[in-house]
Amino acid sequence: MKLKSAIKMLAFTTAIAVSGLTFASSQSDEHAKAAGWNKGGGEQDAALHLTPDLENGLDVYEVCSACHLPEGWGTKEGTFPQLAGQHKKVIIKQLADIRALNRDNPTMYPFALPESIGDEQAIADVSAYIQKLLMNPDNGKGPATADLAKGKKLYVDNCVKCHGDIGQGDEAKFYPRISGQHYNYMLRQFEWIRDGKRRNANPDMVDQIKGFTQQDMVDVISYVSSIPLPEGDAAPSKDWLNPDFD
Ligand code: HEC
Ligand code: HEC
């Protein structure tokens, strides 16, 4: 292991211990009210206007790979989301929001700070690096009991206008790609967005989904997790390894 990686891993282990405590205590707190979904400004705007350095992006990504894995695929059971293939602007926004505490992520927070990865340039670099990673062809899917036909109808009626007909999102508007994402992660986010716990969420989405029941959520998210990825976006197999990490 390179010296730099060794230092990063040490910082990682220490912060895991600390963030474990933060996480436990934040569970009892009510999530604060929305602080605005996309005000821009600050690090987000700065990072959006910088030219990314992909080599440094890979260097920064080493820290992230401890949880999101070298391939950027996260974990199938959904604790860690897939990042690979996400739009650069979405990643920049989420990172800036997490750093500004406008989105709760106590597990990741210490690793996303300027002290661990650097300033806006690091955000621009790592986001550009992540965007070009091939996606996991074997994402976590919903339960067999889900009604996919009903899910599809709910999707067409409530989601297509923002997340696109195949879940591709819309980079220009900061709408995330959701196809290929793990079911459990999406279900958790969807519920948090519906219930106002994800403070950086788009208020129009909150409005759109406020009447969704538990079963509606299961059906629509199961459908989203089953949408096939366009050819070329996914890695050739689920055993593919990121060659940058040789
Ligand atoms: C200690 C584990 C950990 C590390 C290290 C980590 N993350 Fe995360 N990250 C998470 C978890 C957990 C979530 C999902 C939180 C949730 O469920 O809301 C997440 C979510 C994200 C999201 C939001 C994804 C989405 O679809 O909205 C982005 C972007 C992200 N991480 C990028 C990074 C980057 C870049 C790094 C490295 C600088 C990094 N993460 C390091 C645990 C980690
Ligand atoms: C008005 C536009 C809009 C509509 C309608 C909408 N969304 Fe979203 N959705 C968003 C935006 C914007 C975000 C990211 C919010 C942020 O930046 O925090 C998001 C986030 C999500 C996420 C979390 C993604 C992640 O990577 O963390 C999921 C899952 C999701 N939406 C699913 C759905 C589904 C399913 C529907 C339909 C039932 C829907 N959305 C309807 C705009 C919309």
Confirm or reject: Cβ of 39 under 6 Å from ligand 2: no
9 and 93 together in one domain: yes
Q: Is 197 exposed, middle or buried (0-12, 13-18, 19+ CB in 10 A)?
A: middle
DSSP string, 106-164: TTTHHHHSHHHH-SHHHHHHHHHHHHTSPBPSS-----TTS-HHHHHHHHHHHTHHHH-
The closest-lying atom of ligand 2 relative to the alpha carbon of residue 220 is 35
* Single residue among 75, 105, 135 that ends a domain in this structure: 135
Report the nearest-CA residue for atom 18 of ligand 2: 201
126 and 155 together in one domain: no
The closest-lying atom of ligand 1 relative to the alpha carbon of residue 198 is 18
Ligand nearest to the CA of 193: 2
* Number of domains into which the chain is organized: 2
> 188 lies in which domain range?
148-226
159 and 189 together in one domain: yes
Q: pTM for the complete prediction? A: 0.91
The closest-lying atom of ligand 2 relative to the alpha carbon of residue 175 is 12
Confirm or reject: Cβ of 105 under 6 Å from ligand 2: no
Confirm or reject: Cβ of 158 under 6 Å from ligand 2: yes
Ligand nearest to the CA of 218: 2
| pLDDT tens by residue, 127-173 | 999 999 999 999 999 999 999 999 999 999 999 999 999 999 999 99
Angle at 209 between CA 206 and CA 173, to 5 degrees: 55
17 and 123 together in one domain: yes
User: Mean pLDDT over all residues of the chain?
Assistant: 89
